[in-house]
């Protein structure tokens, strides 16, 4: 049985200020927690309604009831397990291969999807502007499905960092050059902008090439979802590296 103080502490980690203060975060769901347990993330405690859930990995779960799990969870319908993990020390950022840079991404689901896409396409580095949603937001973690364990995410002054890079910087714009006609290099930075406003003016000044995804249907859709756009552009980047 967990005590009220434990539940209060775990619930507090739903907020960024307490995650920053305690350098811990909460992950929920069988797949996400399993991925983190198999990675370099250090667990603080694992709580589950199924005490034998991760016995095959050599981890012991604190057995809790479904009502206790619901009290801890940040979701309406929690899924069997909740893990509290330590936020790792920052890993040095490397400008090599392709890098995704996110300029003011606000939606946790979009960010989590982009993390998962980077994992799929073998992009190991994500640069985030300081106003991008926290990568340890529970909804980001849920959408990433554990892929955060394999992608290095760094928050920076994006404008300054891009200006210091020697890699070519590509930005996704509605009026950019059609990506299908571009000869994309083996390494570069792809900047994806805010859901409503796109790439900010200050970051735009560091873009060397503006690229776009052409629209073939009727001009009724304003723009693609940023996660969908990232998937298309990453596919084109990797397709180019295979053909080269």
DSSP, res 56: G
Provide φ and ψ at 104, rounded to 5°.
75, 35
6-54: per-residue pLDDT in tens?
A: 999 999 999 999 999 999 999 999 899 999 999 999 999 999 998 788 7
Q: Do the domains at 4-86 and 98-243 have one common CATH topology? A: no
169-214: per-residue pLDDT in tens?
A: 999 999 999 999 999 999 999 999 999 999 999 999 999 999 999 9
Integer Cα distance of 185 and 39 in angstroms? 31
- For position 242, what pLDDT does the model report? 61
Q: Assign domain 4-86 to its CATH superfamily.
A: Ribosomal protein L30/S12 (3.30.1330.30)
Whether residue 217 has pLDDT greater than 80: no
Q: Is the dihedral of CA 88, 93, 205, 108 positive or negative?
A: negative
- For position 10, what pLDDT does the model report? 95
The structural domains of the chain, with segments of one domain joined by +, span 4-86, 98-243
Cβ-contact 169, 206 below 8 angstroms: yes
Integer Cα distance of 123 and 151 in angstroms? 7
Which pTM value belongs to this model? 0.92
Strand order through the sheet with 24-28: 24-28, 81-86, 43-48, 62-63
Distance of CA 85 to the CA centre of its chain: 16
Architecture of domain 98-243: 3-Layer(aba) Sandwich (3.40)
Both tokens of 51, joined, read 């005490």
87-120: per-residue pLDDT in tens?
A: 999 888 888 899 999 999 999 999 999 999 999 9
Give the H or E element holding residue 143. Answer: helix 138-144
Q: What angle do CA 209, 98, 179 make, to 5 degrees?
A: 40
């Amino acid at each position: 049985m967990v005590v009220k103080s434990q539940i209060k502490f775990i619930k507090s980690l739903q907020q960024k200020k307490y995650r920053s203060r305690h350098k811990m975060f909460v992950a929920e769901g069988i797949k996400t927690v399993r991925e983190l347990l198999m990675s370099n993330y250090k667990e603080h405690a694992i709580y589950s309604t199924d005490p034998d859930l991760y016995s095959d990995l050599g981890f012991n779960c604190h057995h809790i009831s479904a009502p206790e799990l619901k009290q801890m969870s940040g979701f309406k319908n929690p899924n069997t397990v909740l893990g509290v993990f330590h936020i790792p020390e920052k890993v040095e950022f490397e400008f090599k291969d392709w890098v995704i840079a996110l300029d003011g991404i606000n939606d946790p689901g979009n960010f989590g999807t982009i993390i998962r896409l980077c994992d799929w396409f073998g992009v190991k580095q994500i640069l985030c502007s300081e106003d991008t949603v926290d990568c340890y937001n529970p909804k980001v973690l849920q959408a990433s499905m554990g892929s955060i364990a394999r992608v290095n995410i760094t928050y920076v002054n994006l404008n300054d960092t891009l200006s210091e890079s020697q890699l070519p910087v590509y930005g996704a714009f509605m009026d950019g050059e059609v990506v299908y006609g571009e000869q994309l290099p083996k390494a570069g930075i792809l900047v994806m902008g805010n859901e409503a406003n796109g790439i900010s003016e200050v970051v735009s000044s560091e873009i060397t090439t503006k690229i776009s995804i052409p629209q073939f249907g009727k001009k009724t859709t304003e723009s693609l979802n940023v996660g969908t756009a990232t998937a298309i552009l990453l596919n084109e980047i990797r397709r180019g590296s295979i053909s080269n």
